[in-house]
Amino acid sequence: MKYIKNGIFASLFMICTTALANEAIFESAKDHLDLDSRYIQIEYNTNIVEDFCPKQSVGCYTSADRGRIIVRDDLSKTHHDVVIFGLYTDYIQHSNTGLIDSSLTCDLKVNYLKAESQNNLANLYSGQCDAIYRNKVLVMN
């Protein structure tokens, strides 16, 4: 019984910690865009991502139900925060303008990573932004 109580407590603690971290990421996205929007929770559900989001994606934003962000529950810790940041920037852009500028989202993710002192990951995302949105060749060493 003691182990069950400890397990439940640990699970609740992790859920609360993730929710608080996601709220901080949301606030950062609002600051980077200088726009405001209501906070929405992240849904962690791999099955819904596989059924609903584009193939090969780890998550997506949809405007259905006043805005919904769905992310795989096995998203790597390395990319978690920047993926959440990117999806929140898509949501905030769409809720304010009705449009999403994917190039802007990509650049904002790079800026977010630099602000978090994750320079190696920022360089990786910057290279992807250049390759996808600016027709530059991505060279990996």
pLDDT at 15: 45
Please calculate the CA angle 51-57-59 and round it to the nearest 5 degrees: 75
Q: Report if residue 67 sits inside a domain.
A: yes
| Residue 23 structural domain | 2-97
pLDDT at 132: 86
Q: Report if residue 32 sits inside a domain.
A: yes
Q: Report if residue 47 sits inside a domain.
A: yes
Low-confidence ranges of the chain (pLDDT < 50): 7, 9-16
Q: Report if residue 118 sits inside a domain.
A: no
Q: Are 59 and 83 in contact (CB under 8 A)?
A: yes
Q: Report if residue 129 sits inside a domain.
A: no
pLDDT at 9: 44
How many domains in the chain? 1
- Taking the C-alpha atoms of residue 132 and residue 105, their distance in angstroms, rounded to an integer, is 12
pLDDT at 21: 87
pLDDT at 1: 63
pLDDT at 95: 96
